């Protein structure tokens, strides 16, 4: 329904640069109605059997799959990513629903028979109540599906506050959710900006907050929601490195750097932003990356031959471009310059940029650029590469390319990063492992989806029970003696 605030935000098609629609930005009263709706649903929903919840999740999974084309169109229209990327995020979201369908098993507790004489102990996990999820623009379907299936599978009601820059897919997801047969109020969508978020973070009826977005906002969300007594997981930004050792398969590494650096125009939290070329790998690698990058076809996400679309807003496009200028003035070598690429005339497009000889004190190295800019840092040794990673405040994803199993094994032991790929550039865990970075890429201690998601959306309860067995009972229960 329309909100009462009267405030609206523009929603653009980044491929044309034109505003397509407006999104209402919720006022406090709108957030309040969503919270009331969720609160009213939570108690009854928590009493649904796990078998019933599972059945509804199966139906929701099928509805999302059947409507994948419509969801992908909305994602491409509002985000700009190419259709194959939009379908890719839906597939990853489906995996998360599939994981949650197994809720009966995921919530099975443990039982200790005869822990003391006549005493049994069992552990169960109970829902929290009402959970809020605040999500970024760059995965309008997948990130909400990191949260919603597990949260509702555990018996919670959920309030989603999607990004105001790409809001429409969330509404279609909610439609599909209710078409699957979930009771009213179990999922609620509130459109809005920081004002709506502020109210969610402080409201006493919200029990937990899942957030995914940039580091400064994640830090603030964690601090505010925690200070209001809520359980919080806040996933932040990233600066992912890909380290290429001299023995690596250079073609494989170059393919990986190009797809992980420029896929979705670099607007992924697991995008590779920095390639660290160790020793003699550098010249061969930069050349191989340049050749491949030059062939990327840039255009509207809906065009079948497009491999990379535009950036999300004009301001963001200009901000990303400014990093290229700054790097050039600071002495980096501009191998390919996205600012002068041949691009569609309208829309928020920027070509692919490859920078060589980037140094760790340059702003393009320090900041999360979140665009199609790949920086190459040259170092002499593996230890130098490791030192770079250690100095980074981020710890989301990292990749190592090598043919040396021993080096790879040491690397996974030594690196302080939450998700590590060995000859895999974007090591996003499958749905039965959890997703999360370290350091400034995550505030709170629980990773998202998978087993840690189930743990986050539940609290433990231990029940200690004493029933005297017939044998030791002094009461005559009528059992035959001698058994």
Q: What angle do CA 145, 146, 150 make, to 5 degrees?
A: 90
Three-state DSSP at 452 gives helix
Binding mask 379-398 for ligand NAD (x = CB under 6 A): -----------------x--
**Identified binder of ligand NAD from the candidate list 95, 368, 440, 452, rule CB under 6 A:** 368
Q: Does residue 12 touch ligand NAD according to CB under 6 A?
A: no
Distance CA(289)–CA(425), nearest Å, equals 14
393: nearest Cα among 412, 411, 368, 410: 368
Q: Does residue 437 touch ligand NAD according to CB under 6 A?
A: yes
Distance CA(135)–CA(473), nearest Å, equals 57
**Which residue in the list 96, 101, 154, 269 is annotated as catalytic?**
269
What is the number of the residue whose Cβ is closest to ligand NAD? 213
Q: Which of residues 220-239 bind ligand NAD (CB under 6 A)?
A: 235-238
The least CB distance from residue 275 to ligand NAD, in Å, is: 18
Q: Does residue 212 touch ligand NAD according to CB under 6 A?
A: yes
Distance CA(132)–CA(66), nearest Å, equals 27
Q: Helix, strand, coil: what percent of the chain each, to 5?
A: 40, 20, 35
The least CB distance from residue 461 to ligand NAD, in Å, is: 30
User: Do residues 364 and 324 touch, judged by C-beta distance below 8 A?
Assistant: yes
The least CB distance from residue 288 to ligand NAD, in Å, is: 27
Active site residue 269: yes
DSSP secondary-structure letter at 263?
G
Q: Does residue 370 touch ligand NAD according to CB under 6 A?
A: yes
Size of residue set near ligand NAD by CB under 6 A: 27
Q: Does residue 263 touch ligand NAD according to CB under 6 A?
A: no
Q: Does residue 136 touch ligand NAD according to CB under 6 A?
A: yes
Point out which span in 82-90, 209-217, 249-257, 466-474 binds ligand NAD (CB under 6 A).
209-217
Q: What residues have CB less than 8 Å from 121, skipping those under 6 apart?
A: 111, 112, 115, 462, 463, 464, 465
Q: What residues have CB less than 8 Å from 220, skipping those under 6 apart?
A: none
Q: Does residue 193 touch ligand NAD according to CB under 6 A?
A: yes
Q: Which residues are catalytic?
A: 269
Would you tell me which residues interact with ligand NAD (CB under 6 A)?
134-139, 143, 161, 163-164, 193-194, 197, 212-214, 217, 235-238, 269, 368, 370, 396, 437, 441
């Amino acid at each position: 329904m329309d909100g009462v605030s009267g405030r609206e935000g523009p929603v653009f098609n980044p491929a044309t640069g034109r505003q397509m629609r407006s999104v209402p930005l919720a006022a406090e009263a709108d957030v309040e109605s969503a919270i009331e709706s969720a609160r009213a649903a939570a108690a009854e929903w928590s009493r649904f059997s796990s078998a019933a919840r599972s059945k509804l999740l199966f139906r929701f999974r099928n509805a999302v799959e059947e409507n994948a084309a419509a969801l992908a169109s909305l994602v491409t229209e509002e985000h700009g990513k190419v259709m194959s990327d939009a379908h890719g995020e839906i597939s990853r979201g489906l995996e998360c629903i599939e994981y949650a369908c197994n809720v009966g098993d995921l919530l099975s507790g443990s039982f200790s028979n005869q822990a003391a004489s006549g005493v049994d102990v069992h552990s169960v996990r109970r829902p929290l109540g009402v959970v809020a999820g605040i999500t970024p623009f760059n995965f309008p379907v997948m990130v909400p599906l990191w949260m919603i299936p597990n949260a509702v599978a555990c018996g919670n009601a959920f309030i989603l506050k999607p990004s105001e820059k790409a809001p429409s897919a969330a509404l279609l997801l909610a439609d599909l959710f209710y078409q699957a047969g979930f009771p009213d109020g179990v999922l609620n969508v509130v459109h809005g900006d920081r004002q709506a978020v502020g109210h969610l973070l402080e409201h006493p009826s919200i029990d937990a907050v899942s957030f995914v977005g940039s580091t400064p906002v994640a830090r603030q969300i964690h601090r505010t929601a925690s200070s209001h007594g809520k359980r919080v997981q806040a996933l932040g930004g990233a600066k992912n490195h890909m380290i290429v050792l001299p023995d690596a398969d250079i073609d494989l590494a170059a393919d990986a750097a190009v797809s992980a650096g420029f896929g979705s125009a670099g607007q992924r939290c697991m995008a590779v932003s920095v390639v660290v070329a160790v020793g003699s790998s550098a010249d061969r690698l930069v050349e191989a990356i340049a050749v491949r990058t030059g062939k990327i076809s840039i255009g509207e996400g809906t065009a079948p031959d497009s491999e990379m679309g535009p950036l999300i807003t004009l301001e963001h496009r200009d901000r990303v471009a400014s990093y290229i200028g700054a790097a050039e003035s600071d002495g980096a070598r501009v191998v390919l310059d996205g600012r002068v690429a041949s691009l569609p005339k309208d829309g928020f497009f920027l070509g692919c940029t490859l920078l060589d000889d980037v140094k760790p004190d340059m702003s393009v190295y320090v900041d999360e650029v979140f665009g199609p800019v790949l920086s190459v840092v040259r170092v002499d040794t593996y230890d130098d590469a490791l030192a770079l990673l250690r100095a980074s405040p981020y710890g989301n994803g990292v990749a190592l390319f090598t043919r040396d199993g021993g080096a790879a094994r040491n690397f996974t032991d030594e690196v302080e990063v939450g998700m590590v790929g060995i000859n895999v550039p974007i090591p996003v865990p499958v749905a039965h492992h959890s997703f999360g970075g370290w350091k400034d890429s995550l505030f709170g201690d629980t990773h998202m989806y998978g087993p840690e998601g189930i743990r986050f959306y539940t609290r433990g309860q231990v029940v200690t029970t004493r029933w005297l067995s017939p044998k030791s009972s002094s009461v005559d229960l009528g059992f035959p003696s001698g058994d």
